[in-house]
């Protein structure tokens, strides 16, 4: 018997020794902003397409990996080095170039690369080893937008818009810019897929741009306390913030021609309470297309305009919905037929691709099914196929497909696992595919998009950077939503050194709002580094994507309309029911944490289910939707005037007296997204009600913490649960 015991001990000794030698990771090891994070995580292999040839862009050299026919070179060839560039550029006089990672190859037929030095944009020919063209970079600019077709650059300075042409001449497009009147910036608070404010024509000879008049929009009184040593008095830094139901800004669209120096304005009509988004040019540069929405967002019109005169031509397509219509993507013209384009719409309940002609006739639906087209990358022009990413292989997977233009048949291009992101070559024949799966940290490879799909070249494969550290077990599963039928996906992170006979404190991490998801079939099911940190401290972490979150179709996301927080909480409580069924979860020690919409959910759960949640940490929370901005808030809640009951029912000010557990609210003092009025109004309501939340402010930070403050933030969150939940 003694020998058997000794034998068993010897069998497990290597495992015990290994467990003892694993390091316990700190937040500095696990999180961006941490002192050791970048020493651990593997670097990406940076590449760029030169037509259909792949180039590896390193700090000190550009290396050709494949030729234009997709043949991988047995011996990769160096095209040029950083020293070559420095010699050709003449880097004296502080005209420095530090690396080649951001190289762009603007001409697939010529051996040239576009790069930036500290003072110039330039084009270098690696065969002649000479700089072919150079343009001095303007100083103190924002919103830079370069056209390779014309080698012209648009940019903003002091609220005005400028264009510098290839010959170095600067054209001032506007002169009356101010913080009330903005040119060339994104508008509508970056909703409706808007990320920029300038749009070059295909040949680069004309520039469409946004002009936003926000003179009637109320200032929210932000204050800058991070002043210089010479000026010790804090400065006013007001933010134009249109709250739900209040006056919005007015947007117009101009088209500037550097050749004439003149601007033509689109005949949009009265822009009051209207949104203009997803601007696109026709391939010949003669037309501009916009999606236009009324303030209610229950209708979207695709409208064509004459780019020469600005005249309104026709409405090509109209979509309506009693909840909302939310166009997120501009139309895309077929590269082989300039009179046909692809339009993305949720009209059948899921985001799919539709083929239209320029007369506005819908020719056919190109994709269909109970799944989402997540991205249209472009086209394989030789095969006449569309290259897309969808989640048809599973709600939490994202895979790459080629869609045959004629038949609509979809061909899987990748391995069918995990979450994939791609960069398409010029002709669309090849993809750089970077993917991960629950058991695979990161893989990059080149795959062909022609039939049959083929893997051409493995670029890199990286294991977890924390193999020498104690990292928890992460599980994935589904449970049924509060409607009794809809499957919801969850992630469960067990404590390091998990003992099923013990009872563990448990933290529910939540977001729960539109567009976002927390659970994907990427590495460790998209677990966050802070979850690893907490698991090492002996916590169970639970994350559930409730109804109202993204990538599951229109009904799944919009069922919360006019009552944000109610259905979402009901689903989260189904997750809590599941936790209570687990023998190792201590049901007397359940906490909750989330940020932004998740901060709203955290506070709501703490107040509504105060008998369940003992501790909560709410970051940047929405407290009352009437304090949130128009575009997002009114889409999901309509206006306070049209939905007073909904606003009253979802306001957390009315629940301040229900706080029983420990709740800490954390905000960025200069948050322009979820302004300070939310949390301050809640503190006032709690004071009036006699309840006691805790509060912490990060001066100088906005909606999300950056830099070293990320580490401080997560140390603070951790400490709060350690103090009051453990």
Buried b (16+ CB within 10 A) or exposed e, 574-585: bbbebbeebebb
How does strand 504-509 pair with strand 540-544?
Answer: parallel
| 190 has catalytic annotation | no
Q: Which of 453, 350, 331 is nearest to 395 (CA)?
A: 350
Sheet of strand 160-164, all strands in order from the earlier edge strand to the far edge? 142-147, 152-157, 160-164, 170-172
Q: Which run of H or E residues covers position 573?
A: helix 566-581
CA triple 653-654-660, angle to 5 deg:
85
3-state secondary structure of 91: coil
In whole angstroms, what is the distance from residue 543 CA to residue 233 CA? 44
* 549 given a catalytic annotation: no
Give CA torsion, residues 669, 675, 679, 681, to 10 deg: 120
Between CA 292 and CA 300, with CA 294 as vertex, the angle to 5 degrees is 45
Nearest CA to 440 among 478, 393, 397? 397
Spatial separation of the C-alpha atoms in residues 246 and 249, rounded to whole Å = 10
CB-CB contact of 412 with 453 (8 Å):
yes
| Exposed e or buried b per residue across 152-191, where buried means at least 16 C-beta atoms within 10 angstroms of its C-beta | bbbbbbebbbbbbbeeeeebebbeebeebbbbbbbbbbeb
Assess contact for 509 and 531: CB atoms under 8 A.
yes
Q: Is 219 a catalytic residue?
A: no
Q: Of 404, 703, 709, 712, which one is the catalytic site residue?
A: 703
Closest CA to 724 of 580, 600, 589: 589
For 725, other C-beta atoms within 10 Å of its C-beta total 21
Tell which phi-psi region holds residue 475, choosing left (phi > 0), alpha (psi between -120 and 50) or beta.
beta
Cα(259)–Cα(22) distance, integer angstroms: 66
Euclidean distance between CA atoms 726 and 722, whole angstroms? 5
Q: Which residues contact 265 (CB under 8 A, 6 or more apart)?
A: 252, 253, 254, 255, 310
Helix (H, G, I), strand (E, B) or coil at 142: strand
Q: Is 712 helix (H, G, I), strand (E, B) or coil?
A: helix
Query: One of 593, 671, 679, 714 is an active-site residue; which one?
Result: 671
Q: In whole angstroms, what is the distance from residue 305 CA to residue 404 CA?
A: 31
How far is the C-alpha of 270 from the C-alpha of 221, rounded, in Å? Answer: 29
E strands of 358-503, at which residues?
Answer: 362-365, 373-380, 385-390, 399-404, 410-412, 419-424, 430-437, 440-448, 455-462, 474-480, 487-493
The SS3 of residue 469 is strand
Strand partners, 508: 542, 592
* Active-site pick, 282, 596, 651, 679: 596
Which residues are designated catalytic?
Answer: 596, 671, 703
């Amino acid at each position: 018997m003694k020998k058997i015991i000794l034998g068993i001990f010897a069998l497990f000794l290597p495992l015990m020794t290994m467990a003892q030698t694993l390091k316990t990771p700190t937040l500095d090891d696990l999180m961006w902003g941490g002192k050791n994070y970048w020493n651990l995580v593997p670097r990406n292999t940076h590449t760029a397409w030169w037509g259909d040839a792949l180039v590896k862009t390193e700090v000190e050299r550009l290396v050709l990996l494949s030729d234009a026919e997709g043949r991988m070179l047995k011996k990769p060839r160096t095209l040029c080095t950083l020293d070559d560039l420095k010699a050709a550029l003449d880097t004296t006089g502080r005209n420095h170039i530090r690396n080649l990672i951001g190289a762009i190859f603007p001409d697939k037929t010529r051996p040239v690369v576009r790069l930036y030095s500290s003072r110039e944009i330039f084009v270098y020919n690696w065969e002649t080893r000479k700089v072919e063209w150079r343009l001095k970079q303007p100083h103190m600019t924002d919103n830079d937008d370069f056209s390779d077709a014309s080698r012209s650059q648009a940019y903003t300075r002091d609220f005005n818009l400028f264009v510098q042409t290839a010959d170095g001449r600067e054209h001032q497009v506007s002169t009356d810019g101010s913080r009330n009147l903005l040119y060339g910036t994104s508008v509508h608070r970056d909703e409706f897929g808007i990320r920029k404010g300038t749009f070059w024509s295909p040949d680069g000879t004309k520039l469409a741009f946004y002009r936003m008049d926000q003179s009637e929009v109320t200032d929210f009184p932000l204050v800058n306390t991070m002043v210089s040593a010479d000026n010790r008095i804090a400065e006013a830094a007001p933010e134009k913030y249109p709250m739900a139901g209040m006056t919005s800004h007015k947007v117009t669209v101009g088209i500037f021609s550097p050749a004439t120096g003149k601007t033509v304005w689109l005949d949009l009509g009265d822009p009051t309470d209207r949104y203009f988004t997803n601007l696109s040019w026709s391939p010949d540069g003669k037309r501009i297309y916009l999606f236009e929405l009324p303030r209610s967002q229950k209708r979207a019109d695709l409208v064509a305009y004459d780019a020469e005169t600005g005249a309104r031509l026709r409405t090509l397509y109209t979509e309506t919905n009693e909840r909302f219509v939310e166009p997120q993507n501009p139309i895309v013209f077929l590269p082989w037929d300039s009179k046909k384009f692809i339009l993305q719409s949720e009209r059948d309940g899921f985001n799919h691709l539709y083929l239209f002609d320029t007369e506005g006739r819908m020719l056919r639906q190109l994709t269909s099914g109970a799944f989402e087209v997540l991205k249209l990358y472009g086209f394989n022009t030789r095969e006449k196929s569309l290259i897309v990413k969808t989640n048809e292989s599973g709600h939490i997977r994202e895979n790459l497909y080629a869609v045959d233009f004629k038949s609509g048949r979809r061909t899987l291009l990748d391995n069918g696992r995990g979450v994939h992101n791609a960069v398409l070559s010029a002709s669309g024949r090849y993809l750089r595919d970077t993917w991960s799966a629950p058991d695979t940290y990161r893989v990059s490879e080149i795959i062909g998009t022609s039939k049959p799909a083929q893997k051409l070249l493995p670029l890199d494969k990286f294991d977890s950077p924390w193999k020498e550290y104690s990292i928890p077990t992460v599980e994935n599963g589904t449970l049924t939503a509060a409607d009794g039928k809809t499957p919801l996906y969850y992630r469960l992170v067990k404590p390091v050194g998990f003992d099923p006979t013990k009872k563990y404190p448990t933290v529910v991490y939540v977001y729960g709002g539109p567009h976002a998801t927390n659970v994907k079939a990427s590495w460790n099911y998209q677990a966050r580094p802070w979850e690893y940190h907490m698991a090492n401290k002996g916590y169970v972490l639970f994350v559930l994507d409730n109804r109202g979150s993204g990538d599951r179709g229109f009904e799944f996301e919009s069922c919360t309309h006019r009552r944000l927080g109610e259905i979402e909480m009901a689903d989260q409580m189904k997750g809590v029911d599941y936790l209570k069924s687990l023998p190792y979860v201590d049901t007397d020690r359940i906490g909750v944490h989330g940020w932004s919409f998740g901060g709203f959910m955290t506070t709501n759960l703490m107040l509504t289910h105060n008998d369940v949640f003992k501790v909560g940490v709410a970051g940047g929370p929405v407290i009352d939707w009437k304090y949130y901005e128009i575009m997002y808030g009114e889409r999901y809640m309509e206006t306070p005037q049209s939905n007073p009951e909904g606003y009253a029912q979802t306001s957390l000010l009315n629940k301040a007296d229900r706080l029983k557990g420990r709740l800490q609210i954390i905000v960025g003092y200069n948050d322009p997204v979820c302004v300070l009025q939310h949390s301050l109004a809640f503190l006032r309501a709690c004071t009036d009600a006699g309840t006691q939340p805790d509060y912490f402010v990060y001066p100088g930070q906005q909606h999300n913490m950056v830099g070293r403050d990320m580490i401080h933030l997560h140390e603070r969150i951790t400490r709060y649960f350690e103090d009051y939940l453990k």
